Amino acid sequence: MAQKKKAKPAKSKTSKKAPGKSVSSKAKGPKYVYDFGKKTDGDATQRNLLGGKGANLAEMAKIGLPVPPGFTITTDVCTYFYDNKKTYPKVLDEQMKQSVALMEKQLGKKLGDLKTPLLLSVRSGARDSMPGMMDTILNLGLNDETVEALTASSNNERFAWDCYRRFIQMYGDVVMGVQKLPSEDHDPFEATIEDFKKEIFPKEKGEVDDSRITASQMKELVNRFKQLVKKRSGRDFPTCPWQQLEGSVGAVFSSWMNDRAIVYRRKYGIPAEWGTAVNVQAMVFGNTGKKSGSGVGFTRDPASGEKVLYGEFLTDAQGEDVVAGVRTPRPVAKLKRVLPKPFKELVAVQKKLEKHFKDMQDFEFTIENEKLYMLQTRNGKRTGLAAVRIAAEMVKERLIDWKTAITRVPADQLDQVLAPVFDAKAQKAAAWLCKGLPAGPGAASGRICLNAERAVEAAKKSSVLLVRQETSPEDLRGMIAAEGILTARGGVSSHAALVARQMGKVCVCGAAELDVDYHAKTVKVAGKTFKEGDYMSINGTTGEVFAGEIKTAPSEIIQVLVEKKLDPKKSLAYQNFSKLMNWCEKATKMTVRTNADSPSQVANAVAFGATGIGLCRTEHMFFEGNRIDAMREMILAEDEPTRRKALKKLLPYQRRDFQGIFKALAGKPATIRLLDPPLHEFLPHDNQAQRDLAKKLGLPLAAIKRRVEDLHEFNPMLGHRGCRLGISYPEVTEMQAQAIFEAAILAKKAGIEVNPELMVPLVGFPRELELQVEVIHETAKKVFAAKGEKVKYLVGTMIEIPRAALVADEIAKTAQFFSFGTNDLTQTTMGMSRDDSGSFLPNYTELDILDANPFASVDQSGVGQLMEIAVKKGKSKRRGIKLGICGEHGGDPQSVKFCHKIGLNYVSCSPFRVPTARLAAAQAAVS
């Protein structure tokens, strides 16, 4: 492709140089350009090469849908572009000219022609959909001469000049960098339109529809846009169509590395090396009048999952008008009355798309003078609630099988299904303000922020509601930070709605009664004025907007499973969720346990399908009620007899706790970690609390201060904790083991099956574990002899320091199970403190040092390698060794899939993350 090459004047009836009439011989070299239309080169299997959009355009053309012809420039060119200082393969220019010539032949139009000009759209197309993150240009090929040709060929002057001003706006923004400045809240082109409308409609209040601007006024707007481009960029707007095409292709490739695309990729784990394809397609026009229009549709409701043709359209509009949210469109169902023939065709297309792709589709269409054209289809973004319903119902309809259904629900979206809703009484009592379109279900309350940058800052202190006239891709960071999103304009397929659904954000769009004033930093609605920082609440399920903060209530699924307040038969959401979980049960090879320290936590986790406890932190029990006093008495003891006296007080508390846990588990295994934190964590550090403790225990204040000072450590995470405490004070291990075994025997005598698993923390040397196991076995013998009853039990260890992983074969001689404590294993492997990493981790992900937060998702190439070593070495010495993970990573879908890959038997996570982990484990098993 030519670089910065000025076009020579054309000899034919074209205003500037365009590609030749035809190219008889094929361009040499690798194939970088794939055609679609009457001649189609690619298909849906070539997503990696053609991107999702290009592959599906080719597929739609192949199954006979009305697709305007065009071509796709492959992702290989994007890779070349970045590897070669933003230049192109030499053969690309010739291949593009061949494909443009093919389009010209099929349509009887020519790029740059002064009688029948061919106009093009240029769009990005990554392998995975990235809605609004990269750039689009429409109406390419227009200039001061071709716009007159378009006027003559269409017999519609206003339409031609409307196309021209749109082209200048898009090209000026995307290619020439005319974008809003940091000091501006509004796009400069949109600001120019708004100012112009105020001039020509001075008496109008509220929003004035663009369709009221006349042809002559459009010409004036084109001049103002050109002046804006010249003023902001210092360059004249280009007039050569081929130069315009070159600039557009380069801009789309460049947009792969724009800030919002990078932020989006990081959030959704899309590798930068994938690159984007570029799709060049013949324009069809939805803005030629009332018998034309553009729309976005879904084969099912993306918010609820209901099987209904869903979407919206605008008459006399181009596609970008619908998704940009500048005008609020009408529901697609109303198209039946406005344009019945295209509507009937659209219903047929809806059915054909689902039958062919076997998934809910999100499609774009244009109607030009009552003729329907399909511009795109892709698997539709949907809420977690919709994903579960669509998967369940498609199995019932025999479109897919249950194994496919498991893969259709993103595991990290399952949180949305469990997300709270507004408390019914609180919502009824709240001040109702207005109603918009429900675009992202759920409930959100937060402080109003009218700007993405301010939302990011405010979210550090409190919950935030991002309120905008309409959102654009530049608002992405603010959308990520906000609890919910509210817009005055736009519909259910606008940028705000699309991105909110994918992120699982609560969203209400098109609340037309809102008057958002960026300059005054106010929102006016229902006769009230809200300032930035005031509270507002939105119900993304109903579209309602309320003043102030509203109390929330649990989701239907939690009401059924945990609170037992809702009849399962009355909740469709629960029924679909239950089907999905049953399929997960059938598929999974790796079970899911929970991290729980109380019977109520165990009950919640078991209700969600947990198969046992993977981590019971015994130290949490010491902080309840008066127990802390006995614990402190033990710590302050200066000899073993005094320590044992204090431990005797703790014994019944621990025994009662374990008894309750065994009862709640009803035979499921319980991995109980012995005392882990350093002792100083149990002692008070402020003077008043130390005085109170001295008085309570009858000890001198100086003795307490001295003991606190003695226990002080410079690096407590690597200090006197875990098994090191048990080795220094074996009587502590003895007391805990006694409590566990006595509780197990009591439970067994009550007819409850028990499976205790005692876990020794922070082991790095085989001898450490041997010493602790001796104490545990000796205690078990004494308890069993005294009670005249035995229980089976296991003893194992946490693998949480690198040395333990490296000598796992030696440790496995004693340990009957390993549980990876990945929180500490990550800290000790990476030399990073989890509590202090917030000051630099964001920079590390920004600069691609790390792909993700290693404390949220397992660092597979570092920490993961140690885990693999430990698994391999452990199995080499003890073939049937039980293997699990109990760090917070146990609820992260990517980490769960990694654990499946390396052969763990179970993962363990907090109770409310159990469904997510179960789904991720099932997906790993069926993939």
**Tell me: the pLDDT tens digits for 522-531?**
999 999 999 9
Please, what is the Cα angle at 652 between 721 and 791, to 5 degrees?
Answer: 85
Do 48 and 33 touch, CB atoms closer than 8 A? no
Which carries the bigger pLDDT value, residue 922 or residue 702? 922
**Annotation says 889 is catalytic:** no
Q: DSSP assignment, residue 337? A: H
Q: What is the pLDDT of residue 902?
A: 98
In which element (H, E) is residue 536 found? strand 535-539
Buried b (16+ CB within 10 A) or exposed e, 166-176: bbbbbbbbbbb
Compute the half-sphere exposure of residue 654: CA atoms within 13 Å on the CB side of its CA: 30
Task: State mean pLDDT over 23-38.
Answer: 76
Q: What is the pLDDT of residue 623?
A: 75
For CATH 3.20.20.60, list the domain ranges present in the chain: 590-622+631-678+721-926
Contacts of 375 (CB under 8 A, 6+ apart): 67, 68, 281, 284, 319, 363, 364, 365, 366
Confidence of residue 14 (pLDDT cuts 50, 70, 90): very low
Which carries the bigger pLDDT value, residue 211 or residue 657? 657
Quick one: which of 512, 537, 539 has its CA closest to 526? 512
For CATH 1.20.80.30, list the domain ranges present in the chain: 154-238
Written as six digits, the tokens of 525 are 């609605």
d(CA 388, CA 405): 8
**Length in residues, the chain:** 927
Helix-strand-coil percent breakdown of the chain, rounded to 5? 50, 15, 35
Cross-strand partners of 757:
671, 794
Q: What is the pLDDT of residue 2?
A: 45
Q: DSSP assignment, residue 568? A: G
Q: What is the pLDDT of residue 820?
A: 98
Written as six digits, the tokens of 751 are 């007819």
Quick one: which of 667, 701, 659, 663 has its CA closest to 683? 701
d(CA 26, CA 38): 18
The label of the residue with tokens 């409609």 reads 201
Q: Which of 507, 616, 886, 909 is catalytic?
A: 886
Which carries the bigger pLDDT value, residue 626 or residue 740? 740
Task: State mean pLDDT over 105-124.
Answer: 95
pLDDT, tens digit, 9 for 90 and up, residues 288-300? 889 999 999 999 9
d(CA 303, CA 323): 16
Task: State mean pLDDT over 387-402.
Answer: 98
Q: What is the pLDDT of residue 26?
A: 53
CATH (residue range 293-379):
3.30.470.20
Lowest mean pLDDT among 160-164, 432-436, 522-526, 550-554: 550-554
d(CA 454, CA 447): 11
Confidence of residue 599 (pLDDT cuts 50, 70, 90): very high
Q: DSSP assignment, residue 370? A: T
For CATH 3.30.470.20, list the domain ranges present in the chain: 293-379
Quick one: which of 714, 726, 730 has its CA closest to 763? 726
Confidence of residue 505 (pLDDT cuts 50, 70, 90): confident
Give Rg (Cα) of the chain. Answer: 33
Helix or strand or coil: residue 701?
A: helix
Written as six digits, the tokens of 824 are 């500490």
- pLDDT reading at 122 higher than 60: yes
Helix or strand or coil: residue 311?
A: strand
Cross-strand partners of 45:
none
Q: DSSP assignment, residue 434? A: E
Q: What is the mean pLDDT of the chain?
A: 91
d(CA 366, CA 297): 11
- Which CATH architecture is the domain 419-553 placed in? 3-Layer(bba) Sandwich (3.50)
Cross-strand partners of 468:
487
d(CA 177, CA 180): 9
Do 587 and 925 touch, CB atoms closer than 8 A? yes
d(CA 328, CA 494): 9
pLDDT, tens digit, 9 for 90 and up, residues 606-644? 999 999 999 999 887 887 767 888 898 899 988 999 999
Q: What is the pLDDT of residue 15?
A: 40
Q: What is the pLDDT of residue 366?
A: 96
In this structure, what are the phi and psi dihedrals at residue 265, rounded to the nearest 5 degrees?
Answer: -60, -40
For CATH 3.50.30.10, list the domain ranges present in the chain: 419-553
Q: What is the pLDDT of residue 9?
A: 36
- Which CATH architecture is the domain 154-238 placed in? Up-down Bundle (1.20)
In this structure, what are the phi and psi dihedrals at residue 589, rounded to the nearest 5 degrees?
Answer: -110, -20
Q: 701-711 and 687-697 helices cross at what angle (nearest 10)?
A: 120
pLDDT, tens digit, 9 for 90 and up, residues 716-731? 889 999 999 999 999 9
- pLDDT reading at 209 higher than 80: no
Task: State mean pLDDT over 831-847.
Answer: 83
Q: What number of H helices and E strands is found in the chain?
A: 36, 31
Compute the half-sphere exposure of residue 665: CA atoms within 13 Å on the CB side of its CA: 30
Taking domain 13-143+239-283, whether its CATH number is 3.40.630.40 is answered by no
Q: Which of 495, 680, 889, 900 is catalytic?
A: 495
Please, what is the Cα angle at 341 between 336 and 346, to 5 degrees?
Answer: 70
Cross-strand partners of 72:
34, 279
- What topology does CATH give the domain 590-622+631-678+721-926? TIM Barrel (3.20.20)
Task: State mean pLDDT over 595-616.
Answer: 94
Lowest mean pLDDT among 690-694, 763-767, 812-816: 690-694
Confidence of residue 224 (pLDDT cuts 50, 70, 90): very high
Helix or strand or coil: residue 106?
A: helix
Task: State mean pLDDT over 373-396.
Answer: 95
**Annotation says 584 is catalytic:** no
- pLDDT reading at 645 higher than 90: yes
> Widest CA span of the chain, in angstroms?
107
Do 631 and 622 touch, CB atoms closer than 8 A? yes
Q: What is the pLDDT of residue 183?
A: 80
Q: What is the pLDDT of residue 714?
A: 86
Model's pTM, two decimal places?
Answer: 0.81
Percentage of the chain with pLDDT > 70?
A: 96
